[in-house]
Homo-oligomer: A and B are copies of this chain.
């Protein structure tokens, strides 16, 4: 049994707006430390981790650790109904997740828990040679521009700039942002634009995102709450560039 009360509802709305595009079902772990989900998408290209510490919540009660499985689309559909002044409470009874929204009027939604049991995937450990912090909306804009001509884009970091570029049959697009951080060398990997768009549908989770990059390596994206109480992280496999790809 647990009861979690949250008034800063943007973070969970943004997180599940993205998570529901990546995985259909997810295991949520609630224990004394907080609320956690982690999952790998079906094509094993994208890993996502959401970690909200107990201190993020206005109220956090959890007697015994719980692991519940929910349909991410159903949960997301309800989260979308949250109004700005609403306070969200999450709890469970026997077979349901109970979502209470209290504000000008009170609403209670229940969604059935899914009966399954599997191990939550452990986040892969990757050492990145380059890490920079960029405003989330800037990266979001870059991705949107890249899709004009192609389905994939290069992320490039050198000592001065964060670049993206995409080449297509009819044209090219380039994006350039002066990152102002200390980076040695130049790093370049290529990623799927649709997957990046799924990830950045959580771009309002935090104002800045840490972009972790290497050469032909996965992309690490970390959205962290400014308070340090929560994070939403992604690991996205690079796209292989085959000859007919360009």
Interface residues of A (CB under 8 A from B): 71, 74, 77-78, 81, 96, 104-112, 138, 141-142, 144-145, 148, 170-177
Contact = CB atoms under 8 A, between A and B. Distances in A.
A78 B141 contact: no
- Residue of A104, A110, A144 with most chain B CB atoms under a 10 A cut-off: A110
A170 B112 contact: yes
A74 B109 CA distance: 40
A145 B109 CA distance: 9
B109 A172 contact: yes
- At the interface, is chain A mostly helix, strand, loop or mixed? strand
Contact of A141 (B71, B105, B110, B112): B105
Nearest to A108: B174
Nearest to A144: B81
A155 to B, nearest CB: 14
Nearest to A98: B172
B112 A176 contact: no
Given A78-B148, A148-B77, A142 B174 contact: no
A161 to B, nearest CB: 9
A156 to B, nearest CB: 13
Given A104-B138, A138-B104, A109 B71 contact: no
